[in-house]
Structure 1
C-alpha cells in the first residue's frame, strides 16, 4: 500500500508529482473534480473560477493550491494570468457557460460571451502555454467539450457552435504539437451530476408538473441510454489518465463520457 505524504495528503509515489496544472472553471463542478484528481496524483494545481471567496480559500488550502481569479472573457486578463502563474505542464480548459433561446431571439451579447468563454479563452490560454511545454518536451492540454460537440440540440446555437469549435481547435493543436511530447485531447461529457443540475430539478418539477424521478429520467436523462448521470469524479479520472505517461500517444481525440448518448 502506498504511504501518504503527511503534508499534502496525497500518495508518496503520485504519478504527476512535480507537474503544474492550470484548471479553468475549477471552483465547482467538473473543473473542481478534475483539480482534485490531479492534486491526488501529485500535481500542483492552479485554480481559476468564480465563487465565494471563503469557499475558494478553503479549496486552495485543501489542495495546497494557487488561485488566480482572472476573468476569462477578457483576453488581456488571460495574458496577465498566464504571465503571473508561469510555465505549466498541464492545461485544462474547462470554464464554460450556457444560454438557451431560439436563434432569431438569441441575445447577441450572450452569443459573444459563450463563444469567448467556451472557445476563445481556450485559444488564449493554449497559445501562452505551449512554448514552455514544447521546450520541456512534455505537456498535456485537455479541453472540456460536451456531447454537444458531437451532436446538437435546439435552442443552444452558441453552445453547440462553441463545443463543435473546441474539437476542431483541439485537433489542430494536436497535429501541430504531434512530435513535441505535448498532447491535446477533448473530454465530452453528457449530463453530469453537479449542484447546478440538482438545483434545476425542483423548478422543472413545478414548471412541467412532473415528479422528481420523471424529471431525472424523462427530461435530464432522456438522451443517456444508461439513465445514469456522469459523476464528476469519473471525468477527473479520465483527465488523470490523459495526463499520465501511458497516454503519451493519445492525442487529437474526443473522449465521450455520456452514458451512450452519442452512440445512437
Structure 2
C-alpha cells in the first residue's frame, strides 16, 4: 500500500456510512482525503478533524452539490489546488426512491440519475486530464447488486446502477494505457445507520420481530443472511488502488453475500 502514501483520495458521499468508511480507510494508508456529502456542519467538521488527528493526514471538506456539473468541476479544482492532484476518485454518493414505475415522480427519477450516474461521469471527466498527465490514477465507483440484477419499484436506482457498470467499463477501456484503472464495487445490503433506522418502521408495518425483518426482508436476497459491512467495502476500494490490483480494470466486483450468484 506504499503507493497510496501521500496521494490524494476524493470520496463523494463520504460524510457518513460507506463513504466515510472508505475515506477513513484511505487516510489509514497515508492518503490525504477530500470528503463530500450532506449533514450537520458540526458533525462533518468533527469527522474531518478526526481523520486528520487519527491518521496524521490532511483532509478538506467540499460541500459540492453533485447534481450540478459546475459544482463538481469546482470541487475537483479545489481539491487539486489544495493537494496538487486527485490520484484516487471514489464515486460513492447515492440517493434512492421506491415507487411503482407508473407512479414514480419524474423529479425523483431526474435526481437519482443525476446523483447516482451523471455525477460519476462529471467527476471522471474532471479528474482524467490530471491522472493522464501523471500517468497514474485509480477510479472506484460504488455500484450495487442492482448494477447486475433488478428489483421491482426501484426503476431509477436500478437504471442508474446499470449505467454505472457501463460507464465503468467504457472508462476502463479508454484509460487502459494511461495506468488508470476503473472498477466498480457492487455491494448487497450494507449495514449502515440508514438501514438500521428502517427496521422499527418495518417491524410495525409488517407485524414482524426484529429478527424476522432482518432475515426475511432486508436479507431476503442474500444467501449468507449476513450484511456486508462498510469496512469490507472500504477494504476492497483500498485494494483496488494498490499495485497488486493494477491489472484489475473494467471489473464489476460483487460483494453481496451470494445475491447475484443465482
Kept after mapping to 2: 8 A contact 1:186/1:253: yes
Runs of 4+ in structure 1 displaced over 3 angstroms? none
Structure 2: how far apart are the matches of 1:71 and 1:195? 23
Tell me which residue corresponds to 1:164.
162
Tell me which residue corresponds to 2:247.
249
Equivalent positions of 1:107-118 (< 5 A) are: 107-118=105-116
Tell me which residue corresponds to 1:81.
75
Structure 1: how far apart are the matches of 2:72 and 2:107? 20
TM (norm. structure 1) is 0.94
Partner SS, residue 250 of structure 2: coil
Which of residues 165, 171, 175 in structure 1 aligns to 2:173?
175
Please say if 1:184 is aligned against 2:182.
Answer: yes
Equivalent positions of 1:252-263 (< 5 A) are: 252-263=250-261
Partner SS, residue 259 of structure 1: coil
Structure 1: how far apart are the matches of 2:181 and 2:174? 10
Tell me which residue corresponds to 2:55.
none
Partner SS, residue 118 of structure 1: helix
Please say if 1:67 is aligned against 2:61.
Answer: yes
Kept after mapping to 2: 8 A contact 1:14/1:40: no
Q: CA deviation at 1:14?
A: 4.8
Tell me which residue corresponds to 1:53.
41
Aligned length: 252
Q: Unaligned 5+ residue runs, structure 1?
A: 1-12
Structure 2: how far apart are the matches of 1:46 and 1:214? 39
Tell me whether 79-88 or 190-199 shows the greater mean CA deviation.
Answer: 79-88
Tell me whether 58-67 or 44-53 shows the greater mean CA deviation.
Answer: 58-67
Partner SS, residue 4 of structure 2: coil
Tell me which residue corresponds to 1:19.
7
User: Would you tell me which structure has more helix in proportion to its own residues?
Assistant: 2
Partner SS, residue 185 of structure 1: strand
Q: CA deviation at 1:15?
A: 4.7
Structure 2: how far apart are the matches of 1:165 and 1:42? 32
Q: Unaligned 5+ residue runs, structure 2?
A: 53-58
Q: CA deviation at 1:258?
A: 0.4
Structure 1: how far apart are the matches of 2:220 and 2:143? 20
Tell me which residue corresponds to 1:126.
124
Tell me which residue corresponds to 1:91.
89
Structure 2: how far apart are the matches of 1:15 and 1:133? 15
Structure 2: how far apart are the matches of 1:48 and 1:180? 27
Partner SS, residue 42 of structure 1: coil
Cα RMSD between the aligned structures? 0.9
Which of residues 21, 37, 40 in structure 2 aligns to 1:33?
21
TM (norm. structure 2) is 0.95
Structure 2: how far apart are the matches of 1:196 and 1:134? 37
Partner SS, residue 91 of structure 1: strand
Tell me which residue corresponds to 1:140.
138
